[in-house]
Amino acid sequence: MKSVIERYNKSKEEHHQLGYPASEVKLWQQEAAALRQQLQNLQENHRQMMGEELSGLSVKDLQNLENQLEMSLRGVRMKKDQILMDEIQELNRKGNLIHQENVELYKKVYGTRDLNGSNRNPLHTNNIGIGEDSHIPVRLQLSQPQHETPARATKLGRLQLH
């Protein structure tokens, strides 16, 4: 677009000095025709990318189109994976913060010793202790959904962990 404007300005100066308004009209007609052709080519390319109007393409053209689509799809998948990984990292960070807050709240509510002076058993969820010596980070990862029965859920106070 910038080159079109530059060509227009250059041509306008040249033709304005010579005083040929008819040549300016001709220049704009040529420019409009070139832009119409460019639009037509882009629309045809878009239709082919969408799987339409493929009958006139050779095997080589179809292979090139397929490669172009595969490269585009690979880029989309990489971007999606990166976004998901960023979200997982953020959830891991938040999970670790919540875990630390839970440890601190547990200490405040139950203390570190019971009436006999012995250490209390740390709170356990899925064999992970939440107590004063627990500094195990929580890690989340992508996996396929698993169907669990409500009987497998572990109850933690009012919170139900699956």
The structure's pTM equals: 0.48
What per-residue confidence (pLDDT) applies to 3? 77
Per-residue pLDDT at 125 exceeds 60: no
Which residues are CB-contacts of 74 (< 8 A; sequence separation ≥ 6)?
none
What per-residue confidence (pLDDT) applies to 33? 94
What per-residue confidence (pLDDT) applies to 146? 67
How many CA atoms, within 13 angstroms, populate the side-chain half-sphere of residue 104? 6
Contact between 162 and 147 (Cβ < 8 Å)? no
Least-confidence region, from 68-72, 111-115, 125-129: 125-129
Least-confidence region, from 63-77, 86-100, 102-116: 102-116
Token pair recorded at residue 103: 């440890």
Q: Please compute the mean of the pLDDT values over residues 3-31 and round it to a whole number.
A: 75
Backbone phi, psi, residue 99, to 5°: -60, -45
Other C-beta atoms closer than 10 Å to the C-beta of 15 total 17
Helices (H) and strands (E) in the chain, counts: 3, 4
Higher per-residue confidence, 23 vs 88: 88
Q: Please compute the mean of the pLDDT values over residues 45-69 and round it to a whole number.
A: 93
Q: Please compute the mean of the pLDDT values over residues 121-139 and round it to a whole number.
A: 52
Helix axes 21-49, 2-18, angle to 10 degrees: 160
Report d(CA 136, CA 132) in Å as an integer.
11
